[in-house]
Amino acid sequence: MLSKKKQKSSRAQGRFDTLISAKTRVEGNIHFTGGLHVEGKVQGSIVADAESGTALIRLSENGEVEGDIVAPNIIINGTVRGDVFAREHLELAPKAAITGNVYYNLVEMAAGASVNGNMVHRKDPDTLPLPELSTGAKEAGLNKQLANDVTADSHVTADSHKNAADGKRSAGGKAGE
C-alpha cells in the first residue's frame, strides 16, 4: 500500500520581508535577513547575514543582479552576472541565466536554465568558498570619512565612494574643497 504521509519538500519556503520592485535599481551591496524578492536591478552583491540560517532570496524573471549572491536558499529565474553561493538549496527556474560560478549543496535545475561557468558541489555548506566583497570594507571606512565632507543635500552613491577613494568628489565639487 502507498503511504499517505506527506513527504517533506526540499524546496525553500518562506515569506518575503523585502521587495525590490521592477522599477527599482539598487547600487551597492545588500545585506539581509529573512526573505528578499528581487524584481528590479541590483548592481552589487546580495548577502544573507550569517545568523539567518533560513534566509531566502528569490530573483524573478525580470530581475537582474550584477554581483555575487550568498544565501542559504536561493531561487533564480532572472539574470545573474556574478558567482552564486547557496549553502543549502538552489533552484534554477526555466529563465535563469547565470554568468559566473555556482557553488551549491543541493540544486534543482529546470529545462531552459543556463549557467555559463563552473558548477561546484559541496556537501558540507561550511566548506563553500565565500566571495570577497571588496567594496564593502572600503565603503564602510569611507562612509565615516565622507560624512564630514558631504553636505546634507548632496547625493552619495557607491560610485561617489569609489571616486572619493581616488581623490575625487562627485557629490559636490573637487577634492579638497
Over residues 30-48, the pLDDT tens digits come to 999 999 999 999 999 999 9
What's the longest Cα–Cα distance across the chain? 81
pLDDT at residue 113 above 90?
yes
Q: What are the helix and strand counts (H, E) for the chain?
A: 2, 15
- Tens of pLDDT along 47-59? 998 777 789 999 9
Count of beta carbons in the 10 Å neighbourhood of residue 176: 7
Mean pLDDT of 65-78: 97
- Tens of pLDDT along 14-25? 677 899 999 999
For residue 33, give every residue at least 6 positions away whose Cβ sits within 8 Å of its Cβ, in sequence order, or none: 17, 48, 49, 51, 52, 55
Reference 60, options 42, 78, 45; nearest CA is 78
Q: What residues does each domain of the chain span?
A: 18-127, 134-165
Average pLDDT, the chain: 75
